[in-house]
Amino acid sequence: MQGWLIPPPKEPTKTKEEFRKEREKKVRWLIRQGYLRSERIKDAVSKVPREDFIPFMHRDYAYSEVPLSLPGEEATISCPHSYPLFYEPLGLDADHKFLEVGLGSGYGTALAREIVGPEGLVVSIEIDPLTFEFARKNLEGEGYNDVILVKGDGGLGYPEMAPYDRICITAACMEIPPPLIEQLRIGGRLIAPVIKMGIQNLILLEKSEKGISQKVVCQVLYVSLRGIFGVSED
C-alpha cells in the first residue's frame, strides 16, 4: 500500500455550489470505478455534504482522495472512496441496526444514517474525546440528532443496543475484537481492516448458524485501533 501526499492547510475559498458540483462529480467517479453500486449508498453519498465534516483549513480538499487529519490523536476522515468500499460489501441497507467503531469526523455515521433510513438505527463509538466532540458538533450541525454517539472503547462494542445487523470498524486491528463478533446478529456482517504480517487486509466477516466465515476484500491503510484490543506500540 502507498501513502498519501496531504495538501497543505489553507483558508477555504469554495462555495456551497462548487462543493455540490464536486460531490456530483465524485459520485459519477465512484460509480465508474466500481466503488458505488447500490442506490441507497449512492443517494447517501450524493446527499451528505462531506465538506461540513472536514476541519476548516482542509475544507477545500473535501472531495480529494486523501485522508485528512482531525482534532485528536491519530484520527482521520478517510478518503471518499473508503465509505462505499466498506458499506457495499457490508450490504448496509434500509432498516439495519448498525454499529460503527471509530466515529472520526461523523461523516461515515451521517452516510450510514441516510442508508439505514428512519426504521434503522446507527450507533457510533469514538475513543478520543477531542475527536468525539468534533464529530458530535458536525452531526448536530447537519441535523443528525437521532444517532447514538458513545465516547469510549469501541472494541468492547455497545451491548445495550446489540445485536447489530452490521458492524464496521474503521481502525486497523490485530484481531477482530471478540465482543464485536458476539454483538453481531446471526446472519449479520462485520467489516474491518485486520493486520497480518504488517499488511492491512479489509476483512468481511459473516456470522451464520454454522459459525463464522471470513474473506479478504482488498488491502487498505488505516490508523491503528486503540483500547483493550488495540495495536500495541512494540
**Contact residues: ligand SAM, CB under 6 A:** 72, 75-78, 101-102, 104-105, 107-108, 125-128, 131, 153-155, 170-171, 222-223, 225-227, 230
> Cis link prior to 163 (omega < 30° from 0)?
yes
Q: What does the alpha-carbon distance between residue 188 and residue 192 come to, in Å, rounded to a whole number? A: 14
Phi, psi of 166 (to 5 degrees): -140, 140
Q: What does the alpha-carbon distance between residue 150 and residue 135 come to, in Å, rounded to a whole number? A: 11
Bridge-based pairing of strands 121-126 and 97-101 is parallel
Q: Is 78 a catalytic residue?
A: yes
Measured from the CB atom, is 7 or 187 closer to ligand SAM? 7
Q: How far is the CB of 187 from ligand SAM (least distance, A)?
A: 24
Q: Say which residues have a Cβ less than 8 Å from residue 40's Cβ, sequence separation at least 6.
A: 92, 93, 94, 114, 115, 117
Start-to-end CA span in the chain (Å): 21
Measured from the CB atom, is 173 or 205 closer to ligand SAM? 173
Measured from the CB atom, is 154 or 179 closer to ligand SAM? 154
Q: How far is the CB of 230 from ligand SAM (least distance, A)?
A: 6
Residue of 38, 46, 64, 78 marked active site? 78
Q: What does the alpha-carbon distance between residue 62 and residue 54 come to, in Å, rounded to a whole number? A: 7
Measured from the CB atom, is 205 or 225 closer to ligand SAM? 225
Q: How far is the CB of 176 from ligand SAM (least distance, A)?
A: 12
**Coil, strand or helix: which one is 131?**
helix
Q: How far is the CB of 28 from ligand SAM (least distance, A)?
A: 21
Q: Which residues are catalytic?
A: 78
